[in-house]
Structure formats: C-alpha cells, structure tokens
C-alpha cells in the first residue's frame, strides 16, 4: 500500500471516531447529523440541490483564551443520488504551500467514492459496499448507546430555515454527576433542522461545556439539478485505487480528508 493510500485510510478511520459519542468530536469533522444523512446505505434520489455549507466552532479555554474556526464547502446532489463536496484548504504560511482544493464525489450509480486533491492532481477511488443480503437496500438503525446519560428529545415542529421548509428536533443529553469524574451534571444541547423535501440537515447547532459551540448552516440552496461535470473525475487527474469503502461508503460529504505530503 503506497503512502498516499495509507494516509487516506487513516483519515477515514479518524472521521469514524469523530462520529462516535455525544456532541461529536473536536475540530471540523462533518456534523454527525449531516454525516448520517450522507453516509446512508440508500442514496436519496429525485431531490437534487446545491448549496454552501458553513461550519463554525467556538471554544473558550479555562484561562479565557478563545479558539474560533470556520470552514466553508460547496455541496451538491443530483437526481440520481450522486453527491459532491468541495473545500479549499489553506495550509499555514510557514509551510510554504499554496491553497488547494479537496473534493469528494460519491457515485452510488457506478459504485465508487472518489477523493480528489488538486495539489497533486490525484483521485483516490474506493469501492462502495453493497447492502447486506435481505436488507432490501435499506439502512439499519445503530444500537442505542447505553450508560447513565439522561436524554430528552423535543419535537420543534416545522418552520422555514435558510429558505426551505424543515422539521426540527432538540436533543438534551445530561451526564449525571460522578459518571465521568464530574462533580456536577454536564448538559449538552443539539438542535437539528432537516429539510423535509431534501432530507438533509440545513442547520445544526450544538452547545457542550466540554467542547464549546458548533454551528452548521446550509445556505444559498438551489433545488435544480447541478452540472453533471461535478460528479466525474476531471481530465488530467491520476486515479488510484484505494480499496473497499466499508462503513464509510455512502452519499456525500467530506470523508477521509488527506493532505499533500
């Protein structure tokens, strides 16, 4: 296995870990509700869109120091369920490297995920897994996390969010005192608004005293079919086989981020 592919798989594993546990992980792993919609084994067809996805995080350290980060991506999905996500990466000035673009294309029609890096004009191709026999192409519900956490869910109804009709859910998770060595209860709140027509989150807000506040917004939403060229590897790219996609396969999102070496 060459170095580039090994780094690719390491990124896939890191993204898997960031999806586990309450409140998500640090940094800019794809918001878990958004990721769940995109990593479904069954692609969403007949509901095309393109939009701008902006993720922000704010964290205040014990000494009052604040960490703020923002990431913006262009995302799209066509009527066949193929998805596209593009992010411009700006390396630190000290690295001497120029900004470059990372693109993820998931094509359930052809059965592949592609991860493109414009800095070296390379595309990693990973085969998507087939649904288990007898599943009928449907997804399975992951097991409920056990433990002493107290979880309450509130239906927020339907309203217009970022220009589209969406249904909202507020989930409050309380970790009782003493569960993880905490002297007082720890409470996190996650609010998710999902477009009823597109079946994708258009806003996710999370507050957690351990990690600060995060916000994902899907804006500039267009519901027409995007250009077919978005879902093909551009000419001039070298395609390398990355193996089987396993649990990471599915529609859309930035997954398995890898960097120029």
CA atoms within a 13 Å half-sphere pointing along the CA-CB vector of 92:
2
35, pLDDT greater than 80: no
- Mean pLDDT is lowest, of 9-23, 142-156, 212-226, for 9-23
Judge whether 75 and 34 are in contact, CB under 8 Å.
Answer: no
> What's the rounded Cα separation, in Å, for the pair 225 and 237?
25
pLDDT tens digits, 94-129: 888 899 999 999 999 999 999 999 999 999 999 998
For the entire predicted model, the pTM comes to: 0.73
Q: Which tokens is 25 given?
A: 């992980």
Residues shown for the chain = 261
Give the model's confidence band at 147: pLDDT under 50 very low, under 70 low, under 90 confident, else very high: low
User: What is the pLDDT at residue 96?
Assistant: 86
> Helix (H) and strand (E) counts for the chain?
2, 12
| Domain regions of the chain by residue span | 3-138+147-248
Note the pLDDT tens digit of each residue in 1-16. 444 333 333 333 333 3
Which of 114, 130, 119, 107 is CA-nearest to residue 256?
114
Give the pLDDT of residue 129: 85
The domain defined by 3-138+147-248 folds into outer membrane lipoprotein receptor (LolB), chain A (2.50.20)
């Amino acid at each position: 296995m060459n170095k580039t592919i090994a780094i690719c798989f390491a990124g896939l594993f890191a993204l898997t870990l960031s999806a586990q546990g309450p409140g998500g992980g640090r940094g800019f792993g794809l918001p878990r509700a958004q990721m769940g919609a995109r990593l479904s084994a069954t692609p969403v067809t007949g509901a095309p869109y393109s939009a701008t996805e902006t993720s922000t995080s704010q964290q205040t350290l014990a000494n009052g120091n604040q960490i703020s980060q923002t990431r913006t991506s262009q995302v799209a999905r066509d009527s066949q369920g193929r998805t596209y996500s593009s992010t411009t990466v700006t390396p630190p000035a000290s690295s001497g490297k120029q900004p470059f673009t990372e693109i993820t294309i998931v094509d359930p029609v052809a059965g592949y995920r592609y991860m493109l890096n414009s800095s070296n004009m390379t595309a990693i191709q990973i085969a998507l897994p087939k649904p288990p026999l007898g599943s009928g192409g449907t997804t399975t519900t992951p097991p409920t996390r056990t433990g002493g956490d107290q979880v309450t869910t509130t239906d927020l109804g339907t309203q217009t969010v970022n220009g589209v009709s969406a249904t909202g859910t507020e989930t409050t998770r309380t970790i009782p005192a003493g569960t993880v060595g905490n002297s007082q209860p720890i409470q996190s709140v996650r609010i998710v608004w999902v477009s009823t027509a597109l079946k994708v989150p258009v806003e996710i807000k999370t507050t957690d005293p351990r990690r600060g506040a995060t916000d994902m917004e899907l804006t500039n939403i267009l519901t027409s079919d995007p250009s077919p060229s978005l879902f093909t590897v551009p000419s001039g790219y070298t395609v390398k086989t990355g193996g089987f996609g396993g649990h990471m396969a599915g529609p859309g999102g930035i997954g398995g981020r890898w960097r120029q070496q």
